[in-house]
């Protein structure tokens, strides 16, 4: 399936060659198998004459190996567009779970509206303050950086508040080693009712028809340092406020401004964790307005 973008760029949702499909076979144990797909060819035909920029978007739901790229006319690296580069890290929601195509995940939608080039480090289940992710962000050229934190730490029940706070500081310290003055936005989780005040771990809740998720922790254990989304939002806001005394280019955004109670009422989370395609669109629109719009932390400078 191919999408022709508004500015004439071509977006492709297809396994062009050597696809590898990771299939979860047991939702309880999270075991999976890797199935090697056959090599295939995707052809882009009937393109308009003359010089053109071609942008190919590979599937966001599979691992794709590009074996060869062939053309019937000379090609050259794309010219610098002059657009700012936005480097983003987040969970499966940023990765694009439930989106219908790679150009319809919320970071891609926000990037298009913000007229920036996106480098998306959204990793399903893996926005957990891993040091190697921070080092990757440190070493990746970027004009704008955002990190969306919370949901995976809670639903994996990976750490307590005592460990979470220094892990956030360490992550931000590492990013700042490579980008000392780049606008850096810390974003907390969107609304997720099952995890707002109930700790993880998360468990599948399958009724034979629909897969949903539920939190299995005890809310009473918040006093002992168990994490919930509300606990994390409060701590992230506190950390950013503390650090901005020496880092004026650091910003915080409550994720419920992207998708909150009114959005949940209009576009419920189908599995109680991930937004549907309309939810991705709403998040992307709100991010573009609040972050790239006038007065936002990523607003383009004029003059």
> What would the pLDDT profile of 138-159 be if each residue is shown by its tens digit?
999 999 999 999 999 999 999 9
pTM over 0.85: yes
Lowest mean per-residue pLDDT among 76-80, 83-87, 110-114, 296-300 = 76-80
In the chain, what is the greatest distance between 2 CA atoms, to the nearest angstrom?
Answer: 66
Whether residue 20 lies inside any domain: the answer is: yes
CATH number of the domain that 187 lies in? 3.40.50.1110
| In a shared domain, residues 270 and 170 | yes
**Which of these three, 79, 105, 126, is where a domain ends?**
79
| In a shared domain, residues 60 and 94 | no
Host domain of residue 200: 83-292
| In a shared domain, residues 9 and 145 | no
| In a shared domain, residues 141 and 273 | yes
Domain count, the chain: 2
pLDDT > 70? residue 163 = yes
Q: Retrieve residue 279's tokens.
A: 């939810």
Whether residue 192 lies inside any domain: the answer is: yes
Short-list 264, 239, 263, CA closest to 252: 239
> What would the pLDDT profile of 265-281 be if each residue is shown by its tens digit?
999 999 999 999 999 99
Q: Retrieve residue 277's tokens.
A: 């395609």
Whether residue 297 lies inside any domain: the answer is: no
pLDDT category of residue 6 using cuts at 50, 70 and 90: very low
Whether residue 104 lies inside any domain: the answer is: yes
pLDDT > 70? residue 24 = no
Backbone φ and ψ of 119, nearest 5°: -115, 105
Number of other residues whose CB lies within 10 A of the CB of residue 82: 7
pLDDT > 80? residue 1 = no
Is the CB of residue 239 less than 8 Å from the CB of residue 231? no
């Amino acid at each position: 399936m191919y999408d022709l973008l508004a500015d004439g760029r071509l977006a492709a949702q297809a396994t062009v060659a050597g696809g590898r499909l990771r299939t979860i076979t047991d939702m309880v144990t999270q075991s999976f198998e890797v199935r090697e797909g056959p090599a295939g060819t995707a052809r882009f035909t009937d393109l308009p004459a003359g010089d053109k920029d071609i942008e190919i978007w590979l599937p966001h739901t599979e691992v794709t190996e590009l074996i060869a790229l062939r053309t019937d006319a000379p090609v050259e690296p794309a010219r610098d567009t002059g657009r700012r580069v936005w480097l983003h890290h987040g969970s499966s929601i940023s990765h694009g779970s439930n989106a219908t195509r790679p150009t319809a995940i919320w970071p891609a939608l926000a990037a298009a509206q913000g007229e920036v080039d996106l480098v998306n480090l959204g990793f399903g289940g893996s926005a957990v303050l891993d040091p190697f992710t921070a080092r990757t962000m440190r070493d990746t050229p970027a004009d704008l950086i955002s990190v969306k934190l919370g949901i995976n730490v809670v639903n994996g029940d990976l750490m307590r508040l005592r460990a979470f706070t220094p892990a956030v500081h360490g992550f931000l310290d590492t990013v700042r080693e490579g980008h000392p003055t780049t606008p850096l936005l810390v974003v907390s989780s969107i609304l997720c009712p099952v995890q707002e005040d109930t700790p993880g771990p998360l468990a599948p809740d399958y009724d034979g028809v629909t897969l949903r998720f539920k939190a299995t922790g005890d809310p009473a254990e918040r006093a002992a340092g168990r994490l919930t989304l509300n606990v994390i939002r409060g701590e992230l806001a506190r950390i950013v406020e503390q650090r901005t005394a020496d880092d004026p280019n650091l910003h915080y955004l409550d994720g419920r401004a992207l998708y909150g109670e009114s959005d949940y009422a209009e576009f419920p989370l189908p599995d109680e964790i991930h937004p549907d395609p309309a939810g991705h669109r709403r998040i992307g629109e709100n991010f573009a307005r609040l972050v790239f719009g006038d007065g936002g932390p990523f607003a383009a400078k004029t003059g």
